[in-house]
Amino acid sequence: MGGYDEAYRRSIERPEEFWAEAALDIDWDVAPAAVSGGGRWFPGGRLNTCHNAVDRHVAAGRGGQAALIHDSPVTGTVRTITYAELLDEVARTAGMLKGLGVTAGDTVVIYMPMVPEAVVAMLACARLGAVHSVVFGGFAARELALRIEHAEPKVVLSASCGIEPARVVAYKPLLDAALEQSAHRPAHCVILQRPQCPAELTPGRDLDWHESVRAAAPAPCVSVAATDPLYVLYTSGTTGLPKGVVRDNGGHAVALRWSMTNVYGAFPGEVFWAASDVGWVVGHSYIVYAPLLTGCTTVLYEGKPVGTPDPGAFWRVTAQHGVRTLFTAPTAIRAIKKEDPSGNFAKKWDLSGLRHLFLAGERLDPDTYHWASDLLGVPVIDHWWQTETGWPVAANCVGIETLPIKPGSPTKPVPGYDVRVLDAEGRECPPGVEGAVTVRLPLPPGCLPTLYRDEERFAASYLTRYPGHYLTGDGGHIDADGYLFVMGRIDDVINVAGHRLSTGTLEEVIAAHPDVAECAVIGVADELKGQLPVGFVVLKSGSERDPADVERELTALVREHVGPVAAFRRAVVVARLPKTRSGKILRATMRDIADGRPYTTPSTIEDPGVLPEIADAVNGP
The Cβ-side half-sphere exposure at 274, using a 13 Å CA radius, reads: 27
Do 46 and 226 touch, CB atoms closer than 8 A?
yes
Identity of the residue numbered 496: V
Give pLDDT, residue 613. Answer: 85
- Greater confidence (274 vs 606) lies with 274
Same domain, 62 and 184: yes
Rounded CA gap, 75 and 71, in Å? 9
Same domain, 104 and 181: yes
280 in any annotated domain: yes
Q: Which domain holds residue 502?
A: 497-619
435 in any annotated domain: yes
8 in any annotated domain: yes
User: Whose CA is closest to 530, among 557, 500, 507?
Assistant: 500
Inform me whether the pLDDT recorded for 203 exceeds 60. yes
Same domain, 52 and 200: yes
Give pLDDT, residue 491. Answer: 67
Same domain, 437 and 559: no
37 in any annotated domain: yes
Q: How large is the greatest C-alpha to C-alpha distance in the chain, in angstroms?
A: 71
CATH code, domain with 553:
3.30.300.30
**Quick one: average pLDDT of 495-514?**
82
Per the structure, the count of domains in the chain is 2
Q: Which of 269-273, 293-297, 363-367, 408-412 has the lowest mean pLDDT?
A: 363-367
**Quick one: average pLDDT of 545-553?**
94
Same domain, 426 and 296: yes
85 in any annotated domain: yes
Q: Residue 594: pLDDT band by 50, 70, 90 thresholds?
A: confident
Same domain, 458 and 532: no
Give pLDDT, residue 601. Answer: 83
344 in any annotated domain: no
142 in any annotated domain: yes
- pLDDT tens track for 419-474: 999 998 999 999 999 999 999 999 999 999 999 999 999 999 999 999 999 999 99
Same domain, 91 and 232: yes
249 in any annotated domain: yes
Inform me whether the pLDDT recorded for 522 exceeds 80. yes
Assign 466 to helix, strand or coil. coil
Number of CB atoms found within 10 A of residue 581's CB: 18
Rounded CA gap, 578 and 573, in Å? 13
**Quick one: average pLDDT of 545-574?**
90
Helix (H) or strand (E) holding 421: strand 418-422
Rounded CA gap, 258 and 262, in Å? 6
Give the mean pLDDT of the chain: 93
Same domain, 293 and 393: yes
Q: In sequence order, which residues have a C-beta less than 8 Å from that of residue 156 and are 6 or more positions away?
A: 108, 109, 110, 111, 148, 175, 179, 186, 188, 189, 190
Give pLDDT, residue 1. Answer: 41
E strand map for 227-276: 229-235, 243-248, 271-274
Inform me whether the pLDDT recorded for 533 exceeds 70. yes
Same domain, 417 and 521: no
Give pLDDT, residue 560. Answer: 84
Same domain, 538 and 457: no
Same domain, 584 and 436: no
Share of the chain above pLDDT 70, in %: 98
- pLDDT tens track for 219-241: 999 999 999 999 999 986 555 57
Give pLDDT, residue 526. Answer: 80
Same domain, 462 and 594: no
Do 46 and 250 touch, CB atoms closer than 8 A?
no
Assign 282 to helix, strand or coil. helix
